[in-house]
Amino acid sequence: MRDPNATETRINKEFIKNNRKSIKKYALKSQKKFGHGIIVINSTLVQNKFLTEGDLIVASINEDNNSKNEENTLIHPVSYIAKNSFWFKILRIKIKKKYKIDIKTDYDLTQKFLLVFVKDSSLESFSIYSIRIDKSNS
């Protein structure tokens, strides 16, 4: 009998490998706009092994900062969650509880992008990966 976690890990790693360039480009663009953060990939919304431009939504914030056209949340296939956002705080608590890692202090977000694959809306089932930031090759 196959281990479902091993299959899931293989699928997630294959997804990262297939989309590494797009993910890095998206992350660097988002980081420049919003500051340091993490990338959340909603496994239930990603339709196939390859991302499309529609999957990579960068929220646009009005100049006056009073209203947001679109907020980065977990309802998109791929979201960039800034370090100062509500969702970052929620994910930080969940990751700390499950993996005993504090992503705010244990991960140098200037050297790596943290990818969080979520599998349900309650954030009870998720896994984390990281990719190195290489700004020269993006």
Sheet holding 78-82, edge to edge: 78-82, 37-42, 112-118, 126-132
Among 21, 36, 5, residue whose Cα is nearest residue 103: 36
CA–CA distance, 18 with 70 (Å, rounded to integer): 27
pLDDT tens per residue, range 11-65 = 999 999 999 999 999 999 999 999 989 999 998 888 778 888 778 866 544 333 4
Neighbours of 116 (CB within 10 A): 22
The backbone torsions φ and ψ at residue 126, rounded to the nearest 5 degrees and listed phi first, read: -155, 165
Residue 135 pLDDT greater than 70, yes or no: no
Place of tokens 């977990």: 74
| Entry pTM | 0.82
For residue 71, the model assigns a pLDDT of: 57
pLDDT in tens, 56-109: 866 544 333 444 445 577 888 899 999 999 999 999 999 999 999 898 887 777
108 within 8 A of 127, measured Cβ to Cβ = no
pLDDT of residue 57: 67
Query: Reduced to 3 DSSP states, what percent helix, strand and coil does the chain have, rounded to the nearest 5?
Result: 35, 20, 45
